[in-house]
A = this chain, B = another copy of it.
């Protein structure tokens, strides 16, 4: 630098070129097509443990072929990698008007453009990137997705840092005189990512639409989860110190009050030691586990059992898992290294023997604390017997526990639906719904919507509150992937507030009546990768764009679609009404069939307290069954009501299977075509076209209801 110092001391200008070291060592990523519209590139020496590798479900390559072909979204040299200091820096192109979504389930925002996040499995605590589902996948408004398949804390910079060597730079504006022309965040032409690993694999998912990119990601991850039918019913969780008798009495109370119930959650008290856990029944509260579970079965209710996966030194299981323990404890319990197949086998075998094999009424588990605060879980300097480090275990722990539970139930040919508090990329096929302790209504709704960009399912919480609060939360949770009341730490019940008890019951009954609709939405998730819940930027015809100037219309976080027909617009506790931003076309009221508004407008809705706004897309069908208290069993055949909404003709492919086993994977399922067209005299006419492969559905006596007045 001697010359430079002399030149500088003389005040001379050097040529206007950036330092050679800045980007000269970048190498363009080279892409290989792995499947239809799915491309792979690697940089450096990839690691043994990745997110998709931890989830380990095979891609659904065949299903990918049914999506319209999409070209590779970048130019040949537009994406590049640089390896230095044991880390990989990645760069992807970003166009000026492009918006980026995803990069983990955030509670405050769908958009990621303009943000810098470090993805890290954690409780949501307001720090972007630290979330229960820090999935390193982003979805572009231009219709493609990028997954950085690393089990590391990956940093993403989404249009934030302009490179010295960028071809297009934002305007240079003086802040003192520039007024609004000056920007605190000049927009860059790149999405950049830093992977703290010697190498990494990147996947690109083509479109052509953003929804198609999501579908490709979900299908490449193995297709979306298909829960059992009973998993689409209602769940209640019992107070932690409840005994078997208490729990059965609670079920009886639901039945007595006519509130549907399919799942009963047992909290820490089923263990004889919890936090850390023993995975042994407490013989005081549960003297006869098999008898208790038989009682649930007789009531058509499945048990869901809480645990955190840290094993108490008081438990017989402790000695068997100790050889696989990491160097640090969580609540005094060992942290088994579930990246080791042996550890997964020991744990699954124990759960099978002590719990799952006791009765078919064991429906699943609630996997707690795999997301916890850094001050609760193992430190990043912990070591594990597999040789994977603490960071990798942190990023995959929830995935690995889901995998072992899913595998265990699948081997028994019993479907499961569970809850989990921490997950990551590759989780699409796992039938687990994320939850947490946050209780902010608006953030819950935003998270439900945002989960669409992450290949995960999310449910809000209902615990306690005043009458209106409870009702509004129940209405919202019944239009989320898992409808539940979480009574583990409260004396509140769904019937605590008499004034709203009927409305609460009605909201849950509607959930059950819509079971055919929900089940088909999940089948679309499983077979086609289409998310059940769709954030507005994934909805065709939704064109409200962020306005950088006014801040108005900036994001629509508080509404989303469920399936192809229903636009869900929860009303927050305390609010009298709300606005709804309508996508293209006409939208109709679910309850009355009347026109609510036209696309690209914002309508104001003030429904009665008993109703949450539900809008139906023009030319849609919504199938319902009659009112009932639990999901149908495989041998039940039910009358079907099909509602038609709007002014246009409609078709729907209604899915069905036995609802309980994995036999659907061997072809035991049906897609029945429902169709409404006008007859020669202009009257609506509904037709049912059975599955072309001759597979049966479990409905009969189709009643068509044409909801929209002519």
Given the known inter-chain contacts A325-B19, A346-B8, please indicate yes or no for A164 contacting B334, CB distance below 8 A: yes
Q: How far is the CA of A157 from the CA of B325 in the complex (A)?
A: 20
CB-based contact B176/A22 at 8 Å? no
Tell me the minimal C-beta distance from A490 to chain B in angstroms: 16
The interface residues of chain B lying within 8 Å CB-to-CB of A184 are 331, 376
A16 at interface, CB cutoff 8 A: yes
The interface residues of chain B lying within 8 Å CB-to-CB of A194 are 379-381
Interface residues of A in 188-207 (CB under 8 A from B): 192-194, 196
A185 at interface, CB cutoff 8 A: yes
Most B C-beta atoms less than 10 A away, residue of A7, A169, A334, A381: A381
The interface residues of chain B lying within 8 Å CB-to-CB of A18 are 322, 325, 327
Tell me the minimal C-beta distance from A669 to chain B in angstroms: 34
A326 at interface, CB cutoff 8 A: yes
The interface residues of chain B lying within 8 Å CB-to-CB of A384 are 19
A120 — nearest CB in chain B belongs to which residue?
A: B118
Q: How far is the CA of A319 from the CA of B7 in the complex (A)?
A: 11
A167 at interface, CB cutoff 8 A: no
A629-647 vs B: 1/0 string, CB under 8 Å?
A: 0000000000000000000
CB-based contact A320/B11 at 8 Å? yes
Q: How far is the CA of A175 from the CA of B662 in the complex (A)?
A: 37
A312 at interface, CB cutoff 8 A: yes
CB-based contact B8/A328 at 8 Å? no
A142-155 vs B: 1/0 string, CB under 8 Å?
A: 00000000000001
A186 at interface, CB cutoff 8 A: yes
A689 at interface, CB cutoff 8 A: no
A84 at interface, CB cutoff 8 A: yes
A9 at interface, CB cutoff 8 A: yes
CB-based contact B22/A327 at 8 Å? yes
The interface residues of chain B lying within 8 Å CB-to-CB of A196 are 196
Q: How far is the CA of A421 from the CA of B470 in the complex (A)?
A: 46
Q: How far is the CA of A334 from the CA of B387 in the complex (A)?
A: 42
Tell me the minimal C-beta distance from A90 to chain B in angstroms: 8
A97 at interface, CB cutoff 8 A: no
The interface residues of chain B lying within 8 Å CB-to-CB of A116 are 373-375, 379
Cross-chain contact of A175 among B89, B115, B274 (Cβ < 8 A): B274
Most B C-beta atoms less than 10 A away, residue of A22, A86, A312: A22
The interface residues of chain B lying within 8 Å CB-to-CB of A89 are 381
A708 at interface, CB cutoff 8 A: no
A496 at interface, CB cutoff 8 A: no
Q: How far is the CA of A5 from the CA of B320 in the complex (A)?
A: 10
Tell me the minimal C-beta distance from A314 to chain B in angstroms: 6
Cross-chain contact of A274 among B86, B161, B176 (Cβ < 8 A): B176
Tell me the minimal C-beta distance from A594 to chain B in angstroms: 45
Cross-chain contact of A320 among B13, B87, B161, B162 (Cβ < 8 A): B13
The interface residues of chain B lying within 8 Å CB-to-CB of A172 are 273, 276, 312-314, 332
Cross-chain contact of A161 among B4, B82, B169, B378 (Cβ < 8 A): B378
Tell me the minimal C-beta distance from A357 to chain B in angstroms: 14
Interface residues of A in 329-344 (CB under 8 A from B): 329-332, 334, 340-342
CB-based contact B385/A19 at 8 Å? yes
Main secondary structure of the interface of A (DSSP, over half): loop
CB-based contact A192/B323 at 8 Å? no
CB-based contact B381/A155 at 8 Å? yes
CB-based contact A375/B170 at 8 Å? no
The interface residues of chain B lying within 8 Å CB-to-CB of A322 are 14, 16-18
The interface residues of chain B lying within 8 Å CB-to-CB of A7 are 323
A382 at interface, CB cutoff 8 A: yes
Cross-chain contact of A375 among B157, B334, B346 (Cβ < 8 A): B157
Q: How far is the CA of A21 from the CA of B383 in the complex (A)?
A: 7
CB-based contact B23/A327 at 8 Å? yes
CB-based contact B375/A114 at 8 Å? yes
Q: How far is the CA of A465 from the CA of B622 in the complex (A)?
A: 57
Cross-chain contact of A379 among B5, B157, B282, B331 (Cβ < 8 A): B157
Interface residues of A in 386-410 (CB under 8 A from B): 387, 389
Tell me the minimal C-beta distance from A501 to chain B in angstroms: 30
Q: How far is the CA of A164 from the CA of B326 in the complex (A)?
A: 8
A283 at interface, CB cutoff 8 A: no
A127 at interface, CB cutoff 8 A: yes
A684 at interface, CB cutoff 8 A: no
A126 at interface, CB cutoff 8 A: yes
Tell me the minimal C-beta distance from A85 to chain B in angstroms: 6
A275 — nearest CB in chain B belongs to which residue?
A: B175
A163 at interface, CB cutoff 8 A: yes
Cross-chain contact of A329 among B161, B269, B374 (Cβ < 8 A): B161
Given the known inter-chain contacts A319-B16, A327-B18, please indicate yes or no for A4 contacting B164, CB distance below 8 A: no
Q: How far is the CA of A322 from the CA of B18 in the complex (A)?
A: 7
A-B contact pairs, 19 of them (CB 8 A): A4-B323, A4-B342, A5-B345, A7-B323, A8-B342, A22-B327, A23-B327, A89-B381, A114-B375, A157-B375, A160-B374, A161-B382, A164-B334, A174-B275, A176-B240, A176-B269, A185-B375, A185-B376, A186-B329
Q: Which residues of A contact B (CB under 8 A)?
A: 1, 4-5, 7-9, 11-14, 16-19, 21-23, 82, 84-87, 89, 114-116, 126-127, 155, 157, 160-165, 169-172, 174-177, 182, 184-186, 192-194, 196, 240-241, 268-269, 271-276, 282, 312-314, 319-320, 322-332, 334, 340-342, 345-346, 349, 373-385, 387, 389
Q: Told that A1-B340, A89-B381 touch, could you supply 10 new A-B pairs with CB distance under 8 A?
A: A8-B323, A14-B319, A19-B385, A84-B383, A160-B375, A162-B332, A172-B332, A185-B376, A186-B331, A194-B379
